[in-house]
Amino acid sequence: MKNTLAVDLIQRQHGKPEDGICGVWCFDQTTKEVITLSADAIVIATGGVGQLWAKTTNPSVATGDGVAMAYRSGAAVKDMAFIQFHPTALAIENGRPFLITEALRGEGGVILDYEGLKSWQEECKHSFTKGIEPPSPDKFSFTLAFSDLGSMATRDIVARAIDQNLKQTGNKYAFLVTSHLDKDMLMNSFPNMQNHLDKYNLKLGYDDLPVSPAAHYIVGGLDVDDFGRPRTKDGQGIIEHLYAIGEVACTGMHGANRLASNSLLEAVVFADKAATHIINNPPKSVTHELPEWRADGLDILTEHSPIVNDLAMLKDTMSSEVGIVRNNGRLNRAARRIKLLEKEIDIIWKSSIPSRQIVELRNLIQVANLVIEDALLRTENRGLHFNTDLV
């Protein structure tokens, strides 16, 4: 259905998530009405939650809708604190961060800050005047203070290195340097990347690419079984007739630190498992009439006031307090801020005609609470979760 946004799932028996799901309430963005759709089974494949942060490689629709809807319907979540930040997103003003693949570092690209870049360039000039081979930029990288692998370290380590460097220096980005590499190799190996860089008059092998970390992938999500069925919050059962696949689900396949290509394999495997389970276990159709959305109060709803500042506050809080490097003080401050925001948005939600903006903001707040709650409960640093109070 075009221009239709899911609002909430409908339980087969209200208050009994273990009985399963039988439909969904959807907001028709054309008619501005909420419609009721029945379904024998529902597969959630709504993607990630990147829009919680100011900088993200995710599309604008990555607002955690599937996690939030299923959670409100009784589904359990797992490992919500594990958020992967890609270390090298192209840092361009007024543009969505573009992912600069690790393969570029695999070919020899090096991450430098302003100081390292200046020192390396001066050494190169000195070498040219003496007619000797210029030095490699590797030894000038601040990432060596975090790992002997330097720029070739894993995503989480490189992201933390850049994040700390930017906070200490006050700079907005670091640089991914490729000018020491073979120009023809770069053009032949990364044509799609160069096509995107052309928009900003940047060229591989010549220009130093401005990069900074950006929210990229949530490893956590709905706690599902081997068929992609979400477990109930009490851990005693599953939610029948509901399935979750892709980034919205937490299968355990990624552990605490996702390897990029694994998500494609996960999506294919669990999509097949879910489809096969539905085919082999056809759900019984619902015979009773489904309830209309807010059937008892539709006539008193009014259009809500602008909420753009509320969304900005949420993104700012998550970016500054629940980012790559965390501590308990910041996490608790974020929890207090978002709980207050949640109360304000809940008042608006209960009295307003729905819109895409309020539906998505409500879901983002729900997911933000889950991320912070899981982060505060963790007693060790592991993978993508790093709390300085646990060092």
Q: How many helices (H) and strands (E) does the chain have?
A: 10, 15
Give 237: exposed, middle or buried? Use CB within 10 Å, 0-12, 13-18, 19+: middle
When pLDDT is averaged across residues 98-106 and rounded to a whole number, the result is 94
User: Is 330 among the catalytic positions?
Assistant: no
**pLDDT tens, 300-343?**
667 788 899 999 999 999 999 999 999 999 999 999 999 999 99
Pair of tokens at residue 270: 């669990």
Q: Is residue 97 over pLDDT 90?
A: no
When pLDDT is averaged across residues 48-59 and rounded to a whole number, the result is 96
Residue 315 is predicted with a pLDDT of 98
Beta bridge partners of 385: 382
Beta bridge partners of 4: 28
Instruction: Decide: 78 and 370 in contact? Cβ < 8 Å.
Output: no
**Which of the residue ranges 60-64, 236-240, 352-356 would you say has the lowest mean pLDDT?**
352-356
**pLDDT tens, 112-141?**
999 999 999 999 999 999 999 999 999 999
Residue range 4-82+219-390 forms a domain whose CATH class is alpha beta
CA atoms within 13 A on the CB side of 13: 7
Q: Is residue 295 over pLDDT 60?
A: no
Q: Where are the domains of the chain?
A: 4-82+219-390, 88-214
Pair of tokens at residue 358: 């309020």
Residue 49 is predicted with a pLDDT of 98
Whole-model pTM above 0.85? yes
Share of the chain above pLDDT 90, in %: 89
Residue 299 is predicted with a pLDDT of 53
Average model confidence (pLDDT) across the chain: 94
Report the candidate in 100, 49, 59, 52 with the shortest Cα–Cα distance to residue 320.
Answer: 52
Q: 344: which DSSP letter?
A: H
Residue 377 is predicted with a pLDDT of 98
**pLDDT tens, 208-261?**
999 999 999 999 999 999 999 999 999 899 999 999 999 999 999 999 999 888
**pLDDT tens, 143-194?**
999 999 999 999 999 999 999 999 999 999 999 999 999 999 999 999 999 9
Residue 300 is predicted with a pLDDT of 64
Catalytic residue among 12, 96, 105, 155: 155
Apex CA 144: angle with CA 191 and CA 376, to 5°?
A: 95
Q: Is residue 48 over pLDDT 60?
A: yes
Q: Is residue 92 over pLDDT 90?
A: no
Fold of 88-214: Flavocytochrome C3; Chain A, domain 1 (3.90.700)
